[in-house]
Amino acid sequence: MKRIYIVLSCFCILLLAASMETLYACTSAIISGKITPDGRPIMWKNRDTSDLLNCVRYMKGEKYNFIAVTGYAKNPRSIWIGTNEAGFSIMNTVSYNLIEKKEGEKTGSRNGSLMRRALEICATVDEFKHYLDTLTRPMKVETNYGVIDAQGNGAYFEVDYTHYTEYDVNDPSVAPHGYIVRANFSVSGKPDKGTGYVRYQQAEQELFTASATKEITPEWLFSHLSRSFANPLMGIDLKSGLFNKPQTNGWFVEQDFIARKKSSCAVAIQGVRPGEDASFTTMWTVIGYPPVTPAIPVWVKGAAGKLPRLLSVQEGKYHSPLCDATSQLRGRIYSYTRGDNAETYFNWELLFNKKGNGYMQLNEEIEQELFRTLYSRIETWRTSQTPSTEDIYRLYDESDRFITQKFDEIFRLKLLQP
Amino acid at 269: I
Fill in the DSSP letter of residue 223.
I
Q: What is the pLDDT of residues 331-380, one digit of tens each?
A: 999 999 999 889 999 999 999 999 999 999 999 999 999 999 999 999 98
Out of 10-19, 56-65, 354-363, least confident range: 10-19
Between residues 379 and 107, which one has the greater pLDDT?
A: 379
> Count of CB atoms within 10 A of residue 75's CB?
7
Residue 176 and residue 127 in contact, taking contact as beta carbons nearer than 8 Å: no
Q: What is the pLDDT of residues 176-234, one digit of tens each?
A: 999 999 999 999 999 999 999 999 999 999 999 999 999 999 999 999 999 999 999 99
Residue 104 and residue 142 in contact, taking contact as beta carbons nearer than 8 Å: no
Residue 183 and residue 197 in contact, taking contact as beta carbons nearer than 8 Å: yes
Q: What is the pLDDT of residues 294-334, one digit of tens each?
A: 999 999 999 999 999 999 987 666 679 999 999 999 999 99
How many helical (H) and strand (E) elements, i.e. helices and strands, does the chain have?
A: 10, 17
> SS3 of 173, please?
coil
Report the candidate in 207, 163, 165, 217 with the shortest Cα–Cα distance to residue 187: 165
Q: What is the pLDDT of residues 164-174, one digit of tens each?
A: 999 999 999 99
Residue 404 and residue 416 in contact, taking contact as beta carbons nearer than 8 Å: yes
Give the CA distances from residue 275 to residues 10, 149, 168, 208, 220, in Å, rounded to whole numbers and listed in that order.
55, 12, 20, 28, 25
Cα–Cα dist 172/143, whole Å: 23
Residue 282 and residue 270 in contact, taking contact as beta carbons nearer than 8 Å: yes
Residue 184 and residue 26 in contact, taking contact as beta carbons nearer than 8 Å: yes
Cα–Cα dist 301/279, whole Å: 6
> Count of CB atoms within 10 A of residue 256's CB?
23
**Start-to-end C-alpha separation, the chain:** 51
418 has a pLDDT exceeding 70: no
Structural domains of the chain, with CATH: 2-411 (3.60.60.10)
